[in-house]
Amino acid sequence: MQLPRDVVVGTGVINDITDVCDDLKLGDKALIVTGDNTRKIAGDIVHDELEDKGRSVEMYTSSSATMDEVRRVEDEAMKYGSNYLLGVGSGNSIDIAKLAATELDIPFLSVPTAASHDGIVSSRASIIHDSKTTSIQSKAPMAVVADTEIIANAPYRLLAAGCGDIVSNYTAVLDWELANRLKNESFSEYAASLSRMTAKILLDSADSIKPELESSARLVVKALVSSGVAMSIAGSSRPASGSEHMFSHALDSIAPGSALHGEQCGLGTIMMMYLHGGDWQMIRDGLKKIRAPTTAEELGVEDKYIIEALLISHTIRQERYTILGTSGLTRDAAEAVAKTTKVIS
Ligand SMILES: [Zn+2]
């Protein structure tokens, strides 16, 4: 199992970045991967903090998580002889740093500026390759430094999306249990229980998840870390990614760029829970309290794309057996699930 060694969560912890690097004995040369906006919010702080303590720091600003950008970061790291990478941003920067560090075989630290998905702690990198987003197995971050003040000040929509990614654990675990029973797929009770418990704690606290509250940011970050640990125990993303994630990826392929990953996964969880015969209303109510989208309209996606995505979801990751089976839903069934769960009207 690969787990982060240091997980630092709290107010102003970004200013402790040098202590974390020293604790891990990472060496003197750092390369920061950050984004245009996140540089101003956090990248510059990390840079100045390390430089003030006498470290040699380079910074690379990137706008998209493409394979070309990963290569460029690798070239920069080799040019400067960087000992480790820091991904400072909401998602793209962390994904780039994660994959580049894996290929260079050097450590990387995750410094998230938002809590919108579990990629901030996981060992998988979402990278655009040949204009398709693929999830690539990588290193887990050696440390996660999550400043809740910065995360609470990020657009609330991102935090609500993070909750959608965590709620996914419910159906991901049900899918995994199904695959274990039907296909004898190996199953970890520890990973499944941790994953399910994480989603339950989050939904039980749905009333207290609100904009600009550091306590909300802390709650969601801890849940994302916990989901990441469940995936590390399982050695795969199984505990946190099932049919609801396949629905989200299907939507990406037909209606790209319209909504956030976690928003799509949350909405997918409502429908997949219905297919499992579970308490989909509980999922829907929880997401509504958090103010995450529960309808196609709130997601900003036309009804027809929801149906099309449901029809192709089973083709997305065929080795991963889920409630969608090997032949998926009929059109009638897809319309029924979307209408019954009030995703479309
Ligand atoms: Zn996800």
pLDDT in tens, 93-111: 999 999 999 999 999 999 9
Instruction: Give me the residue label for tokens 């199984």.
Output: 238
Residue 257 pLDDT exceeds 80: no
Ligand 1 mean position, distance from CA 119 (Å): 7
- Say how many C-beta atoms besides its own lie within 10 A of residue 54's C-beta: 8
How much is the pLDDT for 329? 97
Residues forming a β-bridge with 190: none
Half-sphere exposure of 265 (CA within 13 A, CB side): 25
Q: Is the dihedral of CA 194, 96, 113, 270 positive or negative?
A: negative
Ligand 1 mean position, distance from CA 168 (Å): 8
Ligand 1 mean position, distance from CA 146 (Å): 18
Provide mean pLDDT across the span 151-160: 97
| Tens-digit pLDDT profile for residues 195-243 | 999 999 999 999 999 999 999 999 999 999 999 999 999 999 999 999 9
Residues forming a β-bridge with 10: 147
Measure the N-to-C terminal CA separation of the chain; round to a whole number of Å.
45
Ligand 1 mean position, distance from CA 162 (Å): 8
Helical (H) or strand (E) element with 175: helix 169-183
Distance CA 331, CA 308 (A): 9
pTM for the complete prediction?
A: 0.95
Q: Cα 197 vs. chain centroid, distance in angstroms?
A: 18
CA-based nearest residue to 278, from 196, 164, 182, 187: 196
Provide mean pLDDT across the span 267-277: 98
Provide mean pLDDT across the span 147-165: 97
With 0-12 / 13-18 / 19 or more C-beta atoms within 10 angstroms meaning exposed / middle / buried, residue 60 is buried
Ligand 1 mean position, distance from CA 17 (Å): 27
Residues forming a β-bridge with 111: 88
Q: Is the dihedral of CA 115, 117, 123, 125 positive or negative?
A: negative
Ligand 1 mean position, distance from CA 118 (Å): 6
Distance CA 34, CA 101 (A): 14
How much is the pLDDT for 131? 77
CA-based nearest residue to 84, from 72, 102, 70: 102
List the single range of 156-160, 232-236, 262-266, 293-297 with lowest mean pLDDT.
232-236
Q: Which two tokens stand for residue 228?
A: 């990441």
CA-based nearest residue to 227, from 253, 176, 252, 192: 192
Residue 192 pLDDT exceeds 70: yes
Residue 135 pLDDT exceeds 90: no
Q: Which two tokens stand for residue 80?
A: 């400067």
Residues ≥6 apart with Cβ < 8 Å to 305? 251, 254, 255, 296
Q: Is the dihedral of CA 296, 269, 210, 148 positive or negative?
A: negative
Ligand 1 mean position, distance from CA 262 (Å): 6
How much is the pLDDT for 1? 83
C-beta separation of 280 from 177 below 8 A? no
Ordered DSSP codes for 51-68 = HHTT-EEEEEE-SS-BHH
Ligand 1 mean position, distance from CA 68 (Å): 23
Residue 256 pLDDT exceeds 90: no
Strand 29-34 versus strand 56-61 pairing type:
parallel
| Tens-digit pLDDT profile for residues 292-325 | 999 999 999 999 999 999 999 999 988 999 999 9
189-204 and 214-234 are packed helices; what angle lies between their axes, rounded to 10 degrees?
A: 170
